[in-house]
Chains A and B, each alone.
Chain A
Amino acid sequence: MDKLVAAEAWTRADLLGLEHLSAEEITLILDTAEQLKTMTGGCAGKLDLLRGATIANLFFENSTRTRTSFSLAARRLGADTIDFSSSGSSLSKGETFIDTAKNIEAMNVDAIVVRHRTPGTPHLLAQNVECCVVNAGDGAHEHPTQGLLDIMTIREQRGQIEGLTVALVGDIAHSRTARSNIWGLQKLGAHVIVCGPSTLVSRHWEKLGVEVAYSLDAILPRCDVLNLLRIQFERQLMRPFPSVREYALLYAMNGERMTRAKKNILIMAPGPINRGAEITPEVADGPHSVILHQVTNGLAIRMAVLWLTYCAANTGAPS
């Protein structure tokens, strides 16, 4: 395992978001994920780096792919996993989420992977439990492993992030993927554009060095990467645009728009995708799409994060 000594440079027992990570830390995760991907033969094989450790998935919000990905990543490293799902508020059972988490921690888990509809809940959790906490999505705030797997996929395809123009398209307001991507991409030197309906793209992003655009057609020729975000209907109180039809006319990536894009453009989507709304099937399944690479890299990133946080919390692998 001496190839993974880079873990010593990682000091965080929790991964709560990308906003407060340095470029070096992000690069370290990406490098570790690439190594693990190689060591597992493309995330297919098993290692025993975390044998004896127990990872708890604590999901207060529905999720299929992220939870599955974390579970599989943990098992690929030899850890045991337990799943705890509760779609409703913990309060409905008369228990605070901190009580719930402490109960799970008392089962001697080494890490809690948490998803919650409310921003900041993983941060509060981390203050209240001893074990590692990994944010698997807190409301529309952050989804660090999604941001990392997107960035890993871009780096894999292009060799580097610096100097690329990456557009995040769609429902920026309600997207945790957007926020984690913005922080990570900016730190690694990309030019980030947020593009979507003006009701879903705040002007405040400009103050943080992000380009704000409302016309996909206007920015399309400049983009090296398009990340097409899902419209988060479930988080919107009042639909912020008149119809899906109008949205698709303005923002859907389709075959016609592909003819006006750079020849080597990368098409990404965090999934699940609304085919027809954000992306047409010909593009989703076309040669520029790296959507399924993203899924595979998700495993690599989650292996890396579980491994690194574990090592930081325990100063080394399980004995």
Chain B
Amino acid sequence: MSNILIKNGRVIDPSQGMDRVSNVLIEDGRISAYDVKVEEKPINGSMRLIDATGKIVAPGLIDMHVHLREPGREEDETIRSGTAAALAGGFTSIVCTPNTNPPMDSQGTVQFVQRQAAEADNCNVYPMACISKNRAGEELAEMGTLVEAGAVAFSDESSPVANSELMRRALEYLLMFDKPVLNHPQVAELTADGVMHEGLVSMVLALPGIPAEAEDVMTGRDISLAESTGGKIHMMHLSTAGSIDMIRRAKTRGVRVTAEVCPHHFSLTDETLRSFDSNFKMNPPLRDSEHLDACIAGLTDGTIDVIASDHAPHAVEKKMQELDQAPFGAISLETSLALVITNLIQPGHLDWMTALEKMTINPAQILGIAKGTLQIGSDADVTIIDPEDTWTVDPEKFYSKSRNSPFVGKSLTGRAETVIVAGRVKFERGS
């Protein structure tokens, strides 16, 4: 393994509160020193120099909400293609969701995913396992053995846990293992045939609505259950002013609750559905500008801990259907970072330190993984970001197998230029 010296970059590491220009030395797959003088390190076959002048050197980004689709829906994405997309997006570690077929409710499936990820040898992949057997929402999956196999979190993902007793038991049981429950808060009976956010636009378009209260009601329940059990709950892809406000208040009471939002929820509104383009159909739905502003406010004041992509690939023919038939979701691994820069950092909603915190150390701490830091001795997972690079979204150029991006043709600023995983350069733009 060759060693790497990253020269003259602006190192921003929220885990250490570090923001300064420095030279970073990587040796034997680990961060070994800062402020190394270039002339003291011979650049030769065993030492590579990367000039990061004008670039941002960040801990490898973490995306804790990615649908890799394998096993079961390899027409949408594979572990190989999805992890390649992750690298291109600047992510060195991702958490993959358990709504596969078969679902990740047994050691066997978890191990299969780990083996495929190891063979792909792109980024680190951490499995999220099911809360309930077969994601049926009836009885607990064997969480202890799943933790042993490497599951870092538990969720029934696109099937929100409707049974409050099951949720309570999951939170209690996982106290033994100190693992978080991740829930997609949404009450099924309030969303029935819903296609988009319920509001003025859904009324005009006559598309069945998914009301904000469907999210709010279950968020309230989950906070209550986390509070009473002392369990760790993480709310996935929040999209409403009501749910974010509940999280804000719960945190002041010391409830162990964390939350994420997705880039599309701070970038787009339900107005986009006037095009009837199914690439704007997601769940939770794109909401109105009031909710979008609440997402940004939650990010700014720290209520929202994590930015996660909810990368949800769907093959072209599936999205080509009528809007009510087309599946929910959008690919986002390869646009997530640029949307954070373009829509949060550039307008001044977040500074670099806070934005990167939500994509590095915060998810690492929620998941209990030793990632998201550039402290000396830690794994050399590093993302070098060009903050000025302005580019146009063209899914044909994406590494993902799918093309369902709601940002086609949009001009965005900033993206990962070089991505290093455990001391090895795994991605270089343009090479």
Contacts and interface: CB of A to CB of B under 8 A. Distances in A.
B1 interface: no
B387 interface: no
Interface string A55-73: 0000000000000000000
A116 B322 contact: yes
Contacts of B199: 204
B325 interface: yes
Contacts of B205: 119-120, 141
A19 B204 contact: yes
Nearest to A89: B325
Q: Kindly name the residue among A116, A117, A139, A207 whose own CB sees the greatest number of chain B CB atoms within 10 A.
A: A139
A97 interface: yes
Nearest to B208: A237
A11 interface: no
Given A96-B317, A237-B192, A237-B193, A121 B322 contact: yes
B206 A91 contact: no
A96 B321 contact: yes
Interface string A148-186: 000000000000000000000000011010010000000
Interface in B159-216: 192-193, 199-200, 203-207
Given A96-B317, A96-B320, A119 B325 contact: no
Interface string B310-324: 000000010011111
Interface string B291-332: 000000000000000000000000001001111110000000
A14 to B, nearest CB: 13
A239 to B, nearest CB: 14
B276 interface: yes
Contacts of A116: 322
B200 A120 contact: no
A121 B206 CA distance: 12
Interface residues of A, number: 27
- Give the residue among B192, B200, B321 with the most A Cβ atoms within 10 A: B321
A119 B193 CA distance: 13
Contact of B276 (A119, A179, A208): A119
Contacts of B323: 118-121, 124
A91 B207 contact: no
Contact of B206 (A89, A96, A124, A179): A179
Nearest to A238: B192
Contacts of B207: 119-120, 139, 141
A19 B201 CA distance: 13
Nearest to A142: B206
Contacts of B322: 89, 97, 116, 118, 120-121, 124
Interface string A197-212: 0000010110110000
Nearest to A140: B206
A98 B276 CA distance: 14
A237 to B, nearest CB: 5
Contacts of A117: 324
Interface in A195-228: 202, 204-205, 207-208
A123 interface: yes
Nearest to A204: B200
Contacts of B275: 123
Given A97-B321, A120-B276, A124-B276, A139 B206 contact: yes
A110 B203 CA distance: 32
A119 B206 contact: yes
Contacts of A91: 321, 325
Contacts of B193: 237
Interface in B258-275: 275
A19 B276 CA distance: 15
Contacts of B324: 117-118
B325 A118 contact: yes
A231 to B, nearest CB: 16
A89 B323 CA distance: 12
A179 B204 contact: yes
Interface string A116-154: 111111011000000000000001110000000000000
A236 to B, nearest CB: 11
Contacts of A141: 205-207
A182 B179 CA distance: 54
Contact of A202 (B192, B203, B320): B203
B269 to A, nearest CB: 15
Nearest to B322: A118
B193 to A, nearest CB: 6
A259 B172 CA distance: 68
B275 to A, nearest CB: 8
19 contacts: A19-B204, A89-B322, A96-B321, A97-B321, A97-B322, A117-B324, A119-B205, A120-B323, A121-B322, A123-B275, A124-B323, A139-B206, A139-B207, A141-B206, A141-B207, A176-B206, A204-B203, A208-B200, A208-B204
Interface of A: 19, 89, 91, 96-98, 116-121, 123-124, 139-141, 173-174, 176, 179, 202, 204-205, 207-208, 237
The 10 closest A-B pairs by CB, nearest first: A120-B276, A140-B206, A118-B322, A141-B206, A204-B200, A202-B203, A118-B324, A204-B203, A123-B276, A119-B206
Given A118-B325, A119-B323, 9 more contacts: A96-B317, A117-B324, A118-B322, A118-B323, A119-B206, A120-B207, A204-B199, A237-B192, A237-B193
